[in-house]
Structure 1
């Protein structure tokens, strides 16, 4: 485990393999509940925070160091996750942008003064760090998922214990070392690794943890929330995000957005397109365009810069995706492209006329599938979009701005993007969902506030 700025010797180790070649990339500790307790206590004693200007400098310097080592971090992330190199290169750039925005926001934290009506007193509020943050991250973006939790925690002045995915821990450990190289005091950060069934509950339920921020599946998130009962929570639990293509949409752009959103990260993205909802009036023109855009995607060796899709995280995940595809076909869907796998590699898969209640589209399917659901009109599109348990993000393609605002008001999601897919993101805007998609908001400024608490002081004033 990574405590006090160094890796501690461990009795039990877990190897980490290259997702494409199978080569052993390294080994990490299988930490016990006692190890987690030690890690939390190592950071919990540091209650006085660094000055905001110092926190800002650390985050800014970390962005500089990460940019200098972009190729190294992209290659490591590709190796342990299987995400293709062109995407992990973009992931490093996104991580740098998140760090820079967090650095800027660290010095913008402000309280307020409030003259108390009817009393000769003045209230003064100040933001303070929530305390010890437990950050639990998934496998699909080994660098940026870590950055979007650690950067706002540091900007808010919190100490952090990070638990990266047991499948992709090496990038997280390397980033922890980078933070220390940028000037973060070692006693403000620890990293624990190992079996999530052991480490997760021990971390989320630790009595010295003040807040838990988690990204992962709904079942895992509910287990974390139960373990963290009584603590502040920030949960990002996935999505079943729709792209809604209406009668007047630019169909070439729609096909490009649909293919990019459905197949990025081999479909293993919470904000990726999981459903393509298209009105009947344009579906016959749109679907061939989508098939062509999907067929142009190259899948294979994720280390090859020309590759668009690498393997899924493991063979079990790939098999599960194909099971849902075949079930949708059995229910009446037309399989137009793909629908096969070789070990963990699933090529781009396109289906048309998918029933809206098929498991493929009712649940979050974490794989490179673009299922087309045909609807009569905008009203039915909204009804279908809202018909699942999830509510993360949505994209709407129309030239009718009045119609867009009416649709946006009715969609039960955390964000609606006009002229973009649900995959649109920026470090400057809030990110998070409703319903089963989670609780709270990420995005640098918003996550910093989530990781802060307000202290109020009142003093005599006037009178």
Structure 2
């Protein structure tokens, strides 16, 4: 469907036209919601084989059209082609995992004859869809973060309406094109391109009992406050930290991983490395290795397969990042690398001597900026990581098992990655944060639990 409200999507790097779409009208929105409501019972009644077959087919079709998807992601998002290809591969895996989870989505059997009064009784606890889902996705992963909402919804048989980010609707629409050819009940999946200011009515629509949002903290808070009676999952921001512990020996490896994953996708990932805490014993040796690894990254046109770092999403974002770097320097920070801007491209930047309350340390930069800070002990490093409003994931470079478990016990984050950067994510693992980083978990099985609620069946007169 189209409307007269046409939106032209432009490449963040040079402003060339990536494609066109149109915003959904109020009539389109009503049709999508009504269709999702009508599909709810049919979706829940789909067999495991039917749900798994649909998910397997989506996975296979994305794989067959991988080049098309990757080029489109790069065109509307500005993500370097190498990272766009990686995102497509992850989406293929996400739908494949969902097919497997759909096959084993069985429930729990619980015996009740542990008490004499319940002799001859047994309980079956199954999870059933809460109802149609509204999924609001961000610009930074226009395919795989949509997949992480759509795949678990189909795995449990729940209809889902996707509102993609206004900057990157084309990839979600291409996924919708694939799904439109599946043998699923009408209304199981819709894509509604809308400006953000017109999404409030969808959020508040009582016919959509689940809202799954990935995006900024302020918007997530607004959604939570607007619909406290709904089941809301929030995947919000972070200023992810990596800690080089005293016992860590392979400083070159840590420097390489931090350089790459502080700058991949121009730092526009909630778990991109931003804060780097280094035990003081290693600062002198580690810092030159980090600077060399950052200098080796190639910045430029994201359509070039050799490009490592492309533009941020738009000029406004680039100007904000440039301003934050300037504020950090004015507060006493020193630029060790980068710091400049050309249009929407920010040079990969390394800062040191930055006060804890500077925005590049305290807030989420969402840009290619690393802040290096020495610490006098691993314990001080743990405290520095936790000195944040956010708590998504942390990377702890240690060889010691006791240090790894201490990090896991002490850090208030959703995940601790040992021996690597906080940017690691496998698509089947529980993913999410605490504090201002949100609530709920993604990862296929975890999202399936969020999208469903338990329903109890007690059978009487059962001989065990």
Structure 2's unaligned 5+ residue stretches are none
Shift of 1:34: 4.8
Give the structure 2 partner of residue 302 of structure 1.
Answer: 302
Aligned length: 455
- Equivalent in 85, 90, 96 of residue 92 of structure 2: 96
Alignment of 1:449 with 2:413, yes or no, is no
Give the structure 2 partner of residue 28 of structure 1.
Answer: 21
Shift of 1:446: 1.1
Shift of 1:33: 4.5
User: Aligned-pair RMSD on alpha carbons?
Assistant: 1.4
Alignment of 1:209 with 2:208, yes or no, is yes
Whether contact under 8 Å (1:205, 1:229) holds in the other structure is: no
Give the structure 1 partner of residue 77 of structure 2.
Answer: 81
Instruction: Indicate the larger mover: 321-330 or 361-370.
Output: 321-330
Shift of 1:342: 0.6
Whether contact under 8 Å (2:257, 2:420) holds in the other structure is: yes
Structure 1's unaligned 5+ residue stretches are 1-7
Alignment of 1:360-371 (within 5 A): 360-371=360-371
Q: Give the Cα–Cα distance (whole angstroms) in 2 for the partners of residues 451 and 230 of structure 1.
A: 15
User: What is the CA deviation profile of residues 216-272 of structure 1, one whole-angstrom value per residue up to 9, with x for unaligned ones?
Assistant: 000011112223331111110011110001122221011011111100110000011
Q: Give the Cα–Cα distance (whole angstroms) in 1 for the partners of residues 206 and 241 of structure 2.
A: 39
Displaced runs of 4+ in structure 1, greater than 6 A?
Answer: none
Whether contact under 8 Å (1:133, 1:210) holds in the other structure is: yes
Shift of 1:60: 0.7
Instruction: Indicate the larger mover: 304-313 or 444-453.
Output: 444-453
Whether contact under 8 Å (1:355, 1:373) holds in the other structure is: no
Whether contact under 8 Å (1:36, 1:202) holds in the other structure is: no
Whether contact under 8 Å (1:244, 1:396) holds in the other structure is: yes
Instruction: Indicate the larger mover: 252-261 or 72-81.
Output: 252-261
Q: Give the Cα–Cα distance (whole angstroms) in 2 for the partners of residues 381 and 108 of structure 1.
A: 41
Shift of 1:71: 0.5
Q: Give the Cα–Cα distance (whole angstroms) in 1 for the partners of residues 334 and 231 of structure 2.
A: 45
Q: Give the Cα–Cα distance (whole angstroms) in 2 for the partners of residues 462 and 110 of structure 1.
A: 20
Alignment of 1:65-144 (within 5 A): 65-116=61-112, 117=115, 118-120=117-119, 121-144=121-144
Alignment of 1:48 with 2:45, yes or no, is no
User: What is the CA deviation profile of residues 256-311 of structure 1, one whole-angstrom value per residue up to 9, with x for unaligned ones?
Assistant: 11111100110000011111111111111111111110011111101010101111
Shift of 1:9: 2.7
Shift of 1:28: 2.2
Shift of 1:182: 4.2
Shift of 1:432: 0.5
| Counterpart secondary structure, 1:45 | helix
Give the structure 1 partner of residue 7 of structure 2.
Answer: 14
User: What is the CA deviation profile of residues 144-166 of structure 1, one whole-angstrom value per residue up to 9, with x for unaligned ones?
Assistant: 11111100111111001100000
Q: Give the Cα–Cα distance (whole angstroms) in 2 for the partners of residues 106 and 462 of structure 1.
A: 28
Q: Give the Cα–Cα distance (whole angstroms) in 2 for the partners of residues 65 and 52 of structure 1.
A: 20
Alignment of 1:321-336 (within 5 A): 321-336=321-336
Q: Give the Cα–Cα distance (whole angstroms) in 2 for the partners of residues 145 and 296 of structure 1.
A: 29
Q: Give the Cα–Cα distance (whole angstroms) in 2 for the partners of residues 373 and 446 of structure 1.
A: 35
Alignment of 1:399-418 (within 5 A): 399-418=399-418
Shift of 1:454: 1.2
| Counterpart secondary structure, 1:412 | coil
Q: Could you tell me the TM-score, scaled by structure 1's length?
A: 0.96
Q: Give the Cα–Cα distance (whole angstroms) in 2 for the partners of residues 329 and 279 of structure 1.
A: 23
Q: Give the Cα–Cα distance (whole angstroms) in 2 for the partners of residues 225 and 11 of structure 1.
A: 32
User: What is the CA deviation profile of residues 332-354 of structure 1, one whole-angstrom value per residue up to 9, with x for unaligned ones?
Assistant: 22101110101111111111222
Q: Could you tell me the TM-score, scaled by structure 2's length?
A: 0.95
Q: Give the Cα–Cα distance (whole angstroms) in 1 for the partners of residues 151 and 108 of structure 2.
A: 24
